[in-house]
Amino acid sequence: MARRLLTALFLMFLGSVTGFLLINLAPGDVTVLVAERRSGPGATSEDVARMAHELGMDRPLPVRYADWVWHALQGDLGASLQRNLPITPELVDRAGQTLLLVSGAAVFAGLVGGLLGMLGALYPDSWIDRIGRGLALLGASIPSFYLAALLILFFGLKLGVVPTFGLSGPASWILPWIALGTGPAGVFSRVVRVGLERAMAEPFAVTGFSKGFTRRQVLVKDALPNIGPSVLGVLATQTGQMVPGAVVIETVFAWQGVGSYFYEAVKFRDIPVLQSSLLVFLLAFVVLNTLVDIIQARLDPRIRRQFEGVAT
């Protein structure tokens, strides 16, 4: 447990440093944009220098990073350069919509991908298996923004059966969930299909067949629990990758989540918002995968013994 927590903290530190450097070393001078926004297009070099001092941009990068981390640990993420409003309350308000989007898409990916994988393993080399493989390949290949546009065009504009703009109740959740979860569902389907196929060739499955159990019984009672911890890790990884993917989906469907907040900050190059949003994405990914590692170790004695062996 302690080793996993230390690893998570190290990943948080490494990711925060990398994100901070990438944002702050990007070409261009954000102080010029802010000075022109507040003083008008005719901002002088003195205005820019005064703004750089006011924002702390004239300090060395290590000092700025340490100051940002220190305040972030206290819950203070600074103020937006574009709106001049505190970032922390804004992120807290928007986090709920992003959580709703990602969690719903993860459930969709798990259910659809798991069902396709199980059907393929239950009826190998049949038309069901071939259709499942084709759908998995298509889902994993199509870009989420393109799928979102197709869903809006067909179900929103052509049929008019679901809302396509904003957050207006459960009906408005469906298309964003599908758009964000289809790619991970395709990947998860193939992992489940291959994992079950390998498990069905293991000695415990052969023993089950020799006892007269059907393929369905062996698959559900023996093979599926055997691959459970490993496929759980894959689903967690895919869910973590959905978090930055929410930037596109929230923008397309006009959701006011952390992803759209990040997108707005990119357009203005709002450095404090960019840093804070990336920190939220990183925190979500690390926490999710750490929890899954702990759950996997609890479910699978082989993984638990492996970690115990490393620790000793």
Torsion of CA 282, 26, 256, 94, to 10 degrees: 40
- pLDDT given for residue 305 in this prediction: 53
Tell me how far the alpha carbon of residue 230 is from its chain's centroid: 19
95-268 fold: MetI-like fold (1.10.3720)
What whole-number distance in Å separates Cα of residue 92 and Cα of residue 172? 21
Q: What contacts 24+ positions apart, CB below 8 Å, involve 260-264? A: 260/94, 261/90, 261/91, 261/94, 264/82
What are the boundaries of each domain within the chain? 1-79+272-312, 95-268
Distances (CA, A) of 40 to 35, 45, 49, 230: 7, 13, 15, 57
- The residue ranges of the chain whose pLDDT is under 50 are 310-312
- pLDDT given for residue 309 in this prediction: 52
What whole-number distance in Å separates Cα of residue 164 and Cα of residue 156? 6
- pLDDT given for residue 4 in this prediction: 75
- pLDDT given for residue 25 in this prediction: 79
Output the pTM of the full model: 0.83
- pLDDT given for residue 175 in this prediction: 92
Cβ-proximal residues to 66 (8 Å cutoff; 6+ apart), any chain:
none
- pLDDT given for residue 188 in this prediction: 92
- pLDDT given for residue 308 in this prediction: 54
- pLDDT given for residue 301 in this prediction: 53
* Nearest partner of 180 among 116, 257, 120, 128, judged by Cα: 257
Burial class (CB in 10 A: 0-12, 13-18, 19+), 80: buried
- pLDDT given for residue 39 in this prediction: 64
